[in-house]
Chain A
C-alpha cells in the first residue's frame, strides 16, 4: 500500500481538527513571517483545497521566506527552483542519464528533478521561457511528470508556489493564461506597515532566529494533510450557493463576440464590459467553491455561506481576468474589477 492509498483509507478528521490544525500551522508561520495574515491564510487555504498558489510581490517582501517556512511547518519535502532565462524543462522535471551499473553495464536511468517533492517553490517564474514554464503544467494539473515517454507520479500532497515580481519586467516572460488558470489562488504580498517593519527588523537582525516547530511528524505529515484535504471536499454546498459562484464567474465575462458560448450574462457589470478582454474560466468557479469550503471549515461549519464565496473572490478571480488596453490606460487592475463584480453579484442576491 503506497502513501496515496493509505490516505484514502484514513479516517476523516473532524471539523474541529481541521480548524485547530490550520490555526496551528498559521501560528508557526507567523513566528517568522510578520504580518501578511491574509496572505498566509490564503496560502494555507489553497494548500488544503488542493490547489497551487501564485505569489505576487515586490522583492524583499518575504515571498521565499514564507514558502520555506510553510515547508518547515508542515514537515514536508521542500524544493526551490530559481527560474532564469537559461533554465531548461529538464532542469525542472529531470532527465535520463547514462549510468554504469555494478556489473559494468551502461544504461539509461531517470534522474528526477526538483519538481519531485511535496512543496515546490518556483521563484520568479516569469523569468523563465514559456517552454520551461510549461514544464510545470502537467505536474500541477495531474500530479505526474512525463519524461521521454515515461510517466512518473508525484507523491501527494503536491503544492506549487510560484512567485512573480511585478517590477523589473524587462526580459521576463509573462505567464500564459493557460498556466495562470492552473493556480488556484493569486496571493498578493504588499509592503509591510511601519509597526510590522519594526518587528521584522527586531526578529531578523538579532542573534537568534525564530525557529519553526513542525506541526506534523515526518511520517504522518502527508497522510494528515491529505485527510484534511478530503474533509474540505466533503463540505456541503447548497445549490443556491453553487449558483451564486457560477453567477459571479459569469459576471466577469464581458460580452465578447470572439468567445464561443452563451454570452448572455444575467448580471452585467459596466467595468467588465469596458476593461475586460476575457473573464474567468470555469476553473474560477471551482476555486471559489474550494476556497469557500476551507473558509466554512475554519468557521466550524459543514456548509458554505455566501460570505465564504465573497471572501475568496479576489484571490480566486484576480489572475483569471485578462484586462484590455483601456484598463491599462485608465490604471484599472483586476482587483478593482473583481471588487465591482462581487458588489454587483451580492446586490443581486438580496
Chain B
C-alpha cells in the first residue's frame, strides 16, 4: 500500500511539472498577444503621425486608413494565432517531451494516467519519468520569461519615438510659430484677369476677405457663380474625394496642432488689369489718390489699393479717409457691397467695416508686420516708424525675387533680352510669405532715403 501511495505521489509530481510548463507557455502566449497588439497600435500611430506631418491630405488619409486596417487585421490575426496555440496539458507535455528529449514519456503518462486498466509496465514508466524529473522542470523546459514579441514592441516604440522628431523636421515650415508682432493677417494681391477661380478647396478655411473695387467684385462674383455652377456639375466621386480631403486635412491639422493658425482669415486684394466696361466715376471718387499709381500695369484695382492705403499699411490716415471695400462670398453679397461702393456717400464716409478696423489696428500697431504692408507705403512722409521689437539677427537681409522675362522696354526689332531666372535663397531667419520686419533707420540716413523715394 505505501508503495502504491509513493507511485501516486510520483505521478502527481510529474503532472504538477507538466502543469507548470503549461502555465509558463500560456503566460508567454498571453504576452505575445499583448506585445504584438501594442506593437501594432504604437507602430501604426507613429507612422500615421509621421504621415500627417509629411504627406498631403489624401495621401495621409490613405496611409491612415491603411495603417488602421493593418492594425485591426494584425490584432485579429494575433488573437486567432494565440487562441489556436493555446497550450493544453497534452500540448505542454508534448512540448516538454520535445525540449527534454523524453521521447513521449510525458505524453504517455498524461494521456494514460486516468485509464483504469494500466499496463504492467506503467509503474516502470512512472518511475522512469520521475527519475528524469529534473530534465523537464518548467524553468528548464520554458526558460523564457518574456515573449520574443517584446522585440517588435520595442521596435514599434522606437519607431514611434523617431516619428515625432521626424514629423517636426518634415513639417518645420508649416509648424513654425509666428513671431509676436509679425503675425498680421496675410494679404494677397491678385489680378482678377489671371485669377483662377475654382470651387473652394475644402482643405482651406473658407474665410478669406476680399478687397476690390465694385466692378472687380462684380466680375469676381460672376466668376464665382460660374465656378459654383461647375462645382455643382461635378461628379459625386469628386465631391467624395473633396470631403475625404477635408476630413483628412482637419485630422492632419489636429495631429500637427495647426488648426487655429490655418483658420486665420486671408485678406485678398483684387485688381482688374484689363477692365471690360468702363468703371463708373463714382468708383474713382472713391479713391481720391487714384491718379498716379505705383503699378506699371495701371489696373484700377491695384491703383485703388495703393492709394487707398491697403489693409495693413503703415499709413494711419489712409484707412480713415477711404475705407477699403470689403466683401466676402457669396456673390450676391459681393454685388450688394459693390453697389454700396459705387455710391459716393458711404464711400467717402468712415465706414467701419471689419477690414477697416483691422487696417486701423494694423496701422496703429507698432508690431504690425512689414512686407506687403510696407511695400505699398512708398509715401516718403510715411517711410519711417517704430522698429520691430524682435532682433533681426543680422544687419542685412535677402529677398527672394522670382522675375519673369519681360520685353516691354525692348525696342521693336531688336532681340529680346531674357534675363536669367534667379532664385536667391532666403535668409535663415526668413520664411516664405512672411512679412519683413521693420528695422530701425538711423536719423542721419532718413533724409537720404526720403530723397530717394521723392524722385
Q: Measured between alpha carbons, how far is A15 from B123 in the docked complex, in Å? A: 12
Write out the residue numbers on chain B whose beta carbons fall within 8 Å of the beta carbon of A302: 119, 121-122, 124-125, 128
Q: B295 → chain A, closest Cβ, in Å?
A: 83
Q: How would residues 295 to 319 of chain A score, 1 for a CB under 8 Å from any chain B CB and 0 otherwise?
A: 0100111111111000000000000
With an 8 Å Cβ cutoff, the count of chain B residues facing the other chain is: 18
Nearest chain-B residue to A236 (Cβ)? B119
Q: Measured between alpha carbons, how far is A302 from B128 in the docked complex, in Å? A: 9
Q: A302-B128, A305-B103 are in contact. Are A236 and B94 (CB under 8 A)?
A: no
Q: Counting CB contacts under 8 A, is A217 at the interface?
A: no
Q: Counting CB contacts under 8 A, is B246 at the interface?
A: no
Q: Counting CB contacts under 8 A, is B104 at the interface?
A: yes
Within 8 A of A (CB), among B110-129: 110-112, 119-122, 124-125, 128
Q: Measured between alpha carbons, how far is A296 from B94 in the docked complex, in Å? A: 17
Within 8 A of A (CB), among B278-305: none
Write out the residue numbers on chain A whose beta carbons fall within 8 Å of the beta carbon of B104: 238, 241, 301, 303-306
Q: Measured between alpha carbons, how far is A78 from B107 in the docked complex, in Å? A: 42
Indicate which residue in A15, A239, A296, A299 contacts B111 across the interface (CB closer than 8 Å). A239
Q: Measured between alpha carbons, how far is A233 from B119 in the docked complex, in Å? A: 10
B112 touching A240, Cβ below 8 Å: no
Write 12 A-B pairs (CB below 8 A) sorted by A numbering. Answer: A12-B120, A234-B119, A234-B121, A235-B121, A236-B121, A238-B110, A238-B111, A240-B111, A303-B105, A303-B125, A305-B103, A305-B104
Q: Measured between alpha carbons, how far is A304 from B102 in the docked complex, in Å? A: 11
B120 touching A234, Cβ below 8 Å: yes
Write out the residue numbers on chain A whose beta carbons fall within 8 Å of the beta carbon of B110: 238
A236 touching B125, Cβ below 8 Å: yes
Nearest chain-B residue to A303 (Cβ)? B108
B122 touching A301, Cβ below 8 Å: no
Indicate which residue in A12, A238, A296, A299 contacts B112 across the interface (CB closer than 8 Å). A238
Q: Measured between alpha carbons, how far is A14 from B108 in the docked complex, in Å? A: 19
Q: A16 → chain B, closest Cβ, in Å?
A: 10
Write out the residue numbers on chain A whose beta carbons fall within 8 Å of the beta carbon of B120: 12, 234
**DSSP majority for the B interface?**
helix
Q: Counting CB contacts under 8 A, is B90 at the interface?
A: yes
Q: B277 → chain A, closest Cβ, in Å?
A: 86
Q: Of residues B90, B94, B103, B128, which shows the largest number of chain A Cβ atoms within 10 Å of its Cβ?
A: B103
Q: Measured between alpha carbons, how far is A307 from B94 in the docked complex, in Å? A: 13
B125 touching A240, Cβ below 8 Å: no
Q: B11 → chain A, closest Cβ, in Å?
A: 14
Q: A302-B119, A302-B125 are in contact. Are A236 and B103 (CB under 8 A)?
A: no
Indicate which residue in B107, B121, B122, B124 contacts A240 across the interface (CB closer than 8 Å). B107
Q: How would residues 382 to 405 of chain B score, 1 for a CB under 8 Å from any chain A CB and 0 otherwise?
A: 000000000000000000000000
Considering the complex of A and B, which 10 residue pairs feature the smallest CB-CB distances, nearest first? A305-B103, A302-B121, A305-B104, A303-B108, A238-B108, A238-B111, A302-B125, A302-B124, A236-B119, A234-B119
Indicate which residue in A235, A237, A239, A301 contacts B105 across the interface (CB closer than 8 Å). A301
Write out the residue numbers on chain A whose beta carbons fall within 8 Å of the beta carbon of B90: 240
Q: Measured between alpha carbons, how far is A197 from B397 in the docked complex, in Å? A: 99
Q: A257 → chain B, closest Cβ, in Å?
A: 34
Q: B85 → chain A, closest Cβ, in Å?
A: 12
Write out the residue numbers on chain B whose beta carbons fall within 8 Å of the beta carbon of A300: 128
